[in-house]
Amino acid sequence: MTNPGPRPPAARKADVLAKLTAAVPDAWVATAAADVPYLVPLTLAWLRERIVLATNATSRTATNIAATGTARLALGATRDVVMIDATLEETFPVAEAPAWVADGYAKGTDWDPRQAGGTYIYLLLRPDRIQAWREENEVADRTLMRNGAWLHH
């Protein structure tokens, strides 16, 4: 197998956005509290340049994000990875979420937490840094977003 040349940043950004807006985008969501790491797969919705996660309010993911205000997400395979460092912007109980969040999440995923009952919440995360690379030849220029702003348009 030959190693293709590096993608230009604009192509990598387009690939990142394609992953974020794919039908039922799943990510590994890493959080930590008291220096204890936690990793869980969750489905996300990409709405208004924000990541929306839905989970039970009492889950370790929700309580860790509430405690630290941060999460790290990974999408894709090890040879086509997207890493996102994100900050908690808002939390909404499912029944009190704005329509753009609740309807957008249900439309962009295969699940509507409004139908699940329980104490589900939406976590609205603002990406601070997004990195994407496939092979070693893309590692040096892997940062596509820094401080919440795309570096390449």
Read off the pLDDT of residues 86-112 as tens digits, 9 standing for 90 and up.
999 999 999 999 999 999 999 999 899
Q: Does pTM top 0.85 for this prediction?
A: yes
Whether residue 4 is contained in a domain is answered as no
CB 28 within 8 A of CB 74: yes
Domains held by the chain: number: 1
Number of H helices, E strands in the chain: 3, 8
Is residue 30 a part of any domain in this protein? yes
Q: Which two tokens stand for residue 38?
A: 């936690």
Tokens of 18: 């394609």
What does the alpha-carbon distance between residue 109 and residue 48 come to, in Å, rounded to a whole number?
Answer: 15
What tokens appear for 30 in the block? 């890493």
Does residue 135 belong to any structural domain of this protein?
yes
Residue 150 lies in a domain: no
Residue 19 lies in a domain: yes
Q: What is the CATH number of the domain that holds 84?
A: 2.30.110.10
What is the pLDDT, as a whole number, of residue 3?
66
Domain holding 31, by residue range, is 9-142
Would residue 153 count as lying in a domain? Answer: no
**Is 32 within 8 Å of 71 (Cβ atoms)?**
no
Q: Kindly state whether residue 122 falls inside one of the protein's structural domains.
A: yes
Q: What is the mean pLDDT of each run of 10 residues along the chain (153 residues)?
A: 79 94 93 93 96 97 96 93 97 96 94 90 98 88 93 75
